[in-house]
Amino acid sequence: MTDKRTELSDLGEFGLIDKLTQGFTTHVPQTIKGVGDDAAVISISDEEALLVTTDALLEGVHFSLMYTPLMHLGYKAVMVNLSDIYAMNGIAQQITVSIAVSNRFPVEALEELYAGIKKACDFYKIDLIGGDTTTSLSGLVISITALGRAKKSDVVYRSGAKENDLLVVTGDLGAAYMGLQLLEREKEVFKANPNIQPDLDGNDYLLERQLKPEARRDIVDLLKALEVKPTSMIDISDGLASEIFHLCKASKTGCTIYDEKVPIDAKTSMAAIEFNIDPITAALNGGEDYELLFTISQSDYDKIAGNPNLTVIGHMTDANSGVNLVDKNGALLPLKAQGWNHFSGS
């Protein structure tokens, strides 16, 4: 420790991770990839790799128990982790679950949480193999580690994108963020007057995307079936813009995406307009979509063309061209990655 004081908000989440981990070198030859991708990659045989990833969800930071049913929370906490395994083009196999709880929770509440975790394990065919249980003086904390497997030759890193590769996104974006806006709005209404019933009718899709996301295991299978190995891949946890920056930084490329191509569900657009948010902003900066973002060589385009799960939204460029968005009028604008900065209070 020195006398110098740097605020966490000066570095941001990713700057902090870089700073804290920059001095570490690997001592173990089996460590193929450590910090810096969606999951670590560890050699376990000539052909096979083990994938490892950890993510924590904190009450008041990542979720509010005012509107998050504990069963959904358990399910989502697993999805957040599986998504990082699928983003390496691997298959998730096991999880460990650590919880910190205060005595304000009855046993029944934690059983609900575990019912959600079990649902996820059964549906995604993974095993709960351990964890840890401790006391929390404030909110609930759930930290999950997921383990997965892949053939080494199948693993896809953030760093493999090449200039002219096509940038592809799965599903549609921005819905989880609009679901959160709806829930936050009703929370405020409820706080002001607890007698008013929440008005969430007709918003099932957006609420599900926020409360019960599904990790895209199906895409790993689909890519295999289509015989496409992406050149790079990442999952969309912090918002499309932030993830594009990660791919570009790791791959040392630039990127151009087209506003009009970004897949946004009509329900997301309608809700965004109601909240005075440009739908593209929800898609670019909203986060929590848990879709996959990947690049493919142009020669693979015919294999994915027309697939309803996959949308080409742009292409990779040379690093000097930067990261840009072509708007509806054809103007080229530099893209900004807001993502979520946990330290700035945004």
Q: Which of Mg ion, ligand ADP, none does 35 bind, CB closer than 5 to 8 A by kind? A: ligand ADP
Q: Is 70 exposed, middle or buried (0-12, 13-18, 19+ CB in 10 A)?
A: buried
Nearer to Mg ion, 303 or 342 (CB): 342
Q: Which of 48, 3, 267 is nearest to 147 (CA)?
A: 48
Q: Which of 170, 304, 324 is nearest to 234 (CA)?
A: 170
Q: Which of Mg ion, ligand ADP, none does 268 bind, CB closer than 5 to 8 A by kind? A: none
Kindly tell me which residue out of 8, 17, 61, 266 binds ligand ADP, with binding defined by CB under 6 A.
17
295 is an interface residue for ligand ADP by CB under 6 A: no
Half-sphere exposure (CA, 13 Å, Cβ side) for 12?
9
Kindly tell me which residue out of 8, 35, 44, 273 binds ligand ADP, with binding defined by CB under 6 A.
35
36 is an interface residue for ligand ADP by CB under 6 A: yes
Pick the stretch among 37-45, 98-106, 276-284, 294-302 that binds Mg ion (CB under 5 A).
Answer: 37-45
**What number of chain residues touch Mg ion (CB under 5 A)?**
3
Tokens of 250: 């790791």
* Number of neighbouring beta carbons within 10 Å of residue 114: 17
Q: What is the CA radius of gyration of the chain?
A: 20
Q: Considering only residues 184 through 223, tell me which ones interact with ligand ADP, judged by CB under 6 A.
A: none
Sheet holding 91-101: strands in order across?
A: 31-33, 40-43, 48-58, 141-151, 91-101, 127-135
CA distance linking residue 186 with residue 173, whole number of Å:
22
Kindly tell me which residue out of 59, 63, 72, 84 binds ligand ADP, with binding defined by CB under 6 A.
84
CA distance linking residue 310 with residue 25, whole number of Å:
37
Nearer to ligand ADP, 37 or 186 (CB): 37
**What number of chain residues touch ligand ADP (CB under 6 A)?**
10
Task: Check if the beta carbon of residue 92 is closer than 8 Å to that of residue 217.
Answer: yes
Q: Considering only residues 50 through 109, tell me which ones interact with Mg ion, judged by CB under 5 A.
A: 84
**In this chain, which residue has its C-beta nearest to Mg ion?**
38
Nearer to Mg ion, 112 or 235 (CB): 235
Kindly tell me which residue out of 172, 235, 259, 288 binds Mg ion, with binding defined by CB under 5 A.
235
Q: What is the smallest separation between the CB atom of 306 and ligand ADP, expressed in angstroms?
A: 30
Positions that interact with ligand ADP (CB under 6 A): 17, 20-21, 35-38, 55, 84, 237
